[in-house]
Structure 1
């Protein structure tokens, strides 16, 4: 019983998702470089079909994971975005400005750093968006390891930045990773979209009809050439925040879905996509343009984009740092924003189909994310030491104020 209670406490901890994600990536790395490598690759490429009278979908298992399971992941992101826009951190434009601009800077700078490394290779330029995204679960997990030593307002800042970063990644996928567009299927997709609109308008209590229309929408979007995970986001925005009885289907669904996404879907994705084959790697492989561009974008670009944008806005008097947050905290947060992992691997899979290229992508993402996590944790841990001068601007607060901030986020 004590083991069960211990596991229950672990899975309730904010860092649990990041730890499980890290273990899944580590397992993929071990399996990909062991005697099980052939079985691992064979399992990922095994065809899986859903057919009716010979017609339907037939894809390798890896694509079912990346297009199907990740649609559920994006569905959850859509639910979080809608909730935050309607009643949370994204409701007040004044609260969104600083993390929002930091998120934009934190997407532009990594892309520029990546292009600086890969410009001589035209084929590699397609991956410019790989280092632009932040992994919420991993970043929040690392921050959670600091416990009460990190200001509660810093977590709010990081969550807002990461949510807006996800929104930016969704827009990038929609605009730049749509290939072989087939308008006929998009026209057909208007039918389930209309159904979702009517259900939302009627403030339905039951979720099943929404999910059914969402599945039909996913199939049609997949067939259209637009990346199918976007159907998950669109469906989420039609889940009613309040039904006709005053209850919240959106809150209920988000609460029910979160553990499955965090502890099943994302780890399965990591296991399927993080298997870097180390055999044959040389020093020249580590410093070749593609992995170096990704790692440089995550480590250098994210730090520069997030920190310098925040610094400029505060110095120009256009924004204020959150209560209790100093410049050392902002720098540590900028480092944590360089943990790309899930989103970076996902965009890497959209950018390249060649396995040799994908191995370089995995190498760059894992290296850059690991360095960002270690550096961010070290900076924030040092910033939390008693007597450390963090250089806050108008935000030196008492312990009582910090306690109030903790209460707001508890």
Structure 2
């Protein structure tokens, strides 16, 4: 008897998700090593060489800017693909499935921002960094979960992924709306025209990848020249890529978006994100004083990630469950939901990225923000692991 279409569709869908979870989890462990290597380099005899390397000029930008503006555009291309796939043909394809991760992600962004502003209420110069503790690093968090093996049910890994995807979507909106200053109208008009061409390719259902990638590269240059952060070009390109709904045949996975996502996932997980982590996580703490560690900017970010994230996410999930709006994730206990909420406080990659936008690369405020990010993310990871191990 021929099986119903829904079964192979689910099999293919979960195969895609498992592949991405595996690459992100393993990549998260590589990211941990890269972050540790950066801290070692910044606080050893290699410190001068480490910081000098990052500021070598390569054409119009330094190496650090090429990493943050160029390589991270590829990272955002993958993020955009994941968001579109999840919302159109994944675990968030229907509104009932979006309620739990959507409300949890929204609360997990709002509460840390309020915690940060509470610590920095009398320091208006720091207010621009309110979005730093709102981020969740999906690769780092899944990497920590992978270390716990089968102590964590699959439903929690999928929920963490869904929350992080929506969190990334919120971060993209914040970057576009908040961290964009002077705009070059001519370059912006060129970018708008390129967006129109990408939309036309999508409308015509063009299956070849090269026109999208060529226009995406031109869009990156135009967006960079316009004053809007160039990484948003990656998201726009991803949203233009066509995707077919899975019907159970291998050909259904050959849509441009799925091909790009599968090709980029290992590159981003094992190369781009670790390179970004190594370039941005190095903070020289050899002369760190107690006063610097207790700076409101540092505390606002660290406490926002450690306390704000778990209060927002855990509180939102348990409220939805108690009100019978959603069911508890399969095979998950209240304690495990708490552990997941703690791991969502690992902000690392996106938090470091937002800190550079908020305060400027190399500024004293950015260095303080890095310290808060590392402290809050490390504490969230260690306490989250301790909770989930039991």
* 1:31 match: 41
* 1:315 match: 322
Q: Choose from 56, 69, 73 the match for 1:46.
A: 56
Trace 1:192-341 onto structure 2 (pairs within 5 A). Answer: 192-242=194-244, 247-341=254-348
Question: Is it true that 1:133 corresponds to 2:135 in the alignment?
Answer: yes
Instruction: Kindly report structure 1 stretches of 4+ aligned residues shifted beyond 3 Å.
Output: 11-15, 242-247
Q: Choose from 68, 71, 78 the match for 1:69.
A: 71
| TM-score relative to the length of structure 2 | 0.90
- Per the TM alignment, residue 13 of structure 1 is displaced from its structure 2 partner at its CA by 6.5
CA contact (8 A) 2:74 2:234 kept: yes
- Per the TM alignment, residue 199 of structure 1 is displaced from its structure 2 partner at its CA by 1.6
Question: Is it true that 1:356 corresponds to 2:364 in the alignment?
Answer: yes
- Cα distance in 2 for residues equivalent to 1:83 and 1:370: 30
- Cα distance in 2 for residues equivalent to 1:36 and 1:147: 36
Question: Is it true that 1:372 corresponds to 2:374 in the alignment?
Answer: no
- Cα distance in 2 for residues equivalent to 1:246 and 1:288: 50
Q: 1:14 to 1:269 in 2, by over 3 A?
A: closer
* 2:126 match: 124
Q: 1:253 to 1:112 in 2, by over 3 A?
A: same
Tell me the matched-pair count.
Answer: 364
- Cα distance in 2 for residues equivalent to 1:13 and 1:74: 16
- Per the TM alignment, residue 205 of structure 1 is displaced from its structure 2 partner at its CA by 2.5
Q: Choose from 377, 380, 389 the match for 1:381.
A: 389
- Cα distance in 2 for residues equivalent to 1:127 and 1:367: 16
SS, match of residue 123 in structure 1: helix
- Cα distance in 1 for residues equivalent to 2:22 and 2:309: 29
* 2:9 match: none
- Cα distance in 1 for residues equivalent to 2:156 and 2:53: 42
- Cα distance in 1 for residues equivalent to 2:181 and 2:328: 41
* 2:105 match: 103
Q: CA RMSD in A?
A: 1.7
| TM-score relative to the length of structure 1 | 0.86
Q: Deviations over 1:1-54 (max 9, x none)?
A: xxxxxxxxxx967632111101111111111122222222222112221xxxxx
Q: Which runs of 5+ in 2 are unaligned?
A: 1-20, 246-250
* 1:157 match: 159
- Cα distance in 2 for residues equivalent to 1:311 and 1:246: 36
- Cα distance in 2 for residues equivalent to 1:33 and 1:206: 48
- Cα distance in 1 for residues equivalent to 2:311 and 2:252: 48
- Cα distance in 2 for residues equivalent to 1:267 and 1:156: 23
Q: Which segment is superposed worse, 336-345 or 78-87? A: 78-87
Q: Choose from 143, 146, 157 the match for 2:145.
A: 143
CA contact (8 A) 1:203 1:242 kept: no
- Per the TM alignment, residue 247 of structure 1 is displaced from its structure 2 partner at its CA by 3.2
- Per the TM alignment, residue 242 of structure 1 is displaced from its structure 2 partner at its CA by 3.9
Q: Which runs of 5+ in 1 are unaligned?
A: 1-10, 50-57, 383-410
Q: Which segment is superposed worse, 227-236 or 306-315? A: 306-315
- Per the TM alignment, residue 145 of structure 1 is displaced from its structure 2 partner at its CA by 1.7
- Cα distance in 1 for residues equivalent to 2:142 and 2:22: 13
**Normalized per residue, which structure has more helix?**
2
- Cα distance in 2 for residues equivalent to 1:23 and 1:155: 22
SS, match of residue 61 in structure 2: strand
Trace 1:171-182 onto structure 2 (pairs within 5 A). Answer: 171-182=173-184
- Cα distance in 1 for residues equivalent to 2:176 and 2:112: 19
Q: 1:204 to 1:275 in 2, by over 3 A?
A: same
- Cα distance in 1 for residues equivalent to 2:268 and 2:241: 18
Question: Is it true that 1:19 corresponds to 2:25 in the alignment?
Answer: no
- Cα distance in 1 for residues equivalent to 2:233 and 2:346: 25
Which has the higher relative contact order, 1 or 2, with Cα contacts under 8 A spaced 6 or more apart?
2
- Cα distance in 1 for residues equivalent to 2:230 and 2:33: 28
